[in-house]
Amino acid sequence: MTELGRLLTAMVTPFNERGEVDYEQAQKLARALIESGSDGVVVVGTTGESPTLIREEEVRLFAEVKSAIGDKGTIVAGTGSNSTAEAIATTKEAERIGVDACLLVVPYYNRPSQEGIYRHFRTVAESTSLPCILYNVPARTVVSISAETTIKLSEIDNIVGTKEASGNLDQISRIIDGTGDSFLVYSGNDNDTLPILSLGGYGVISVSSHLVGRQMQEMITNVVEGRMDRAAQIHRSLLPLFSAMSVVSNPVPIKYALNRVGFRVGDTRLPLTPPDESSAKIIEKALSSLQIDLPLD
């Protein structure tokens, strides 16, 4: 089984006051996340605002985060695209830098068939020796990868897992049942983590773990070790935060929350904007009852 860790944080991309990537702050955040319970980080995913980053920024972020955490945690590079050629090029750059794996989103906007999705992922996987994690997030890509296509792709040696943000527990159950024990099924939604783990899933690629990494790690450990009552108790205690992190489009809430607790990450890039007043109050209410794990010094 590929050892990437059960708790990976989908890391935000910090920007400075001019809207430029703040690479120094990205390094600081990556180190803080590893210190506060995360096994690794996903760089330049949805939470990292990949749609608004240019290739040079993405590749430099991979390198800067690799430099910051070294072998202390795993680095999964978000190299997916709706262009197969672009996904291949970015994945090769990430491999050259020395990341541990890549995250490949289902092609968006161009609405491929299941056969097109299969060929896309197979072609990217064949271009690299990196372990590849599929990323199914139909709320953003419109097209969803089917359980059958995921199972077929799991037979490719270096396609080692999937991040399932579909919210479809029936589909996720079929994937877990139809793939080998070494295929890693990650929850892509924080509030689905406990149900997916209970079905036999492996872990979570999380947003909330920016703030509550140790608590998320404790929940996962309790499931793995059979203490479901304690895991469920932690899950329930974190539900207000999970809900607040989706009150408006990710990563708007988590960036607002990080800035509020004192870890400067800047605003989101357009077309995303800061939360409105009512959404901000929901986020602040969730924060008020939390024990924050992230070191702020």
pLDDT digits (tens, 9 = 90+) for 194-213: 999 999 999 999 999 999 99
DSSP strand E in 156-230: where? Answer: 159-164, 184-187, 203-206
Counting residues of the chain whose pLDDT is more than 90, the rounded percentage is 96
The residue assigned the tokens 């096994």 is 39
CATH entry, 7-288, from 3.90.1150.10, 3.20.20.70, 1.10.1040.10, 3.40.50.1580: 3.20.20.70
SS3 139: helix
* Cα–Cα dist 228/293, whole Å: 22
Average pLDDT over residues 145-167: 97
Q: What per-residue confidence (pLDDT) applies to 297?
A: 62
Preceding omega of 112 cis (within 30 degrees of 0): no
- Separation of alpha carbons 14 and 40, rounded Å: 17
**Total-model pTM:** 0.96
What is the C-alpha to C-alpha distance for residues 73 and 41, in angstroms, rounded to an integer? 7
Model confidence band, residue 295 (pLDDT cutoffs 50, 70, 90): confident
Give the active site residue among 23, 118, 135, 202.
135
Residue 1 confidence (pLDDT): 58
- Which of 23, 66, 118, 163 is catalytic? The answer is 163
pLDDT of residue 3: 87
Across the range 81-88, mean pLDDT stands at 97
For 101-150, what is each residue's pLDDT tens digit?
999 999 999 999 999 999 999 999 999 999 999 999 999 999 999 999 99
Phi, psi of 180 (to 5 degrees): -75, 170
Known active-site residue 135: yes
Using 50, 70 and 90 to split pLDDT, how confident is the model at 294? Answer: confident
Predicted pLDDT at 2: 65
The rounded distance, in Å, linking the Cα atoms of 15 and 23 is: 8
By DSSP bridging, strand 74-78 and strand 101-105 are: parallel
With H, G, I as helix, E, B as strand and everything else as coil, classify residue 229: helix
Instruction: Provide the sign of the torsion angle of the four alpha carbons 25, 103, 86, 117, taken in this order.
Output: negative
Mean pLDDT of 210-239: 97
Q: Which tokens sit at 186?
A: 């990650």
**Is 163 among the catalytic positions?**
yes
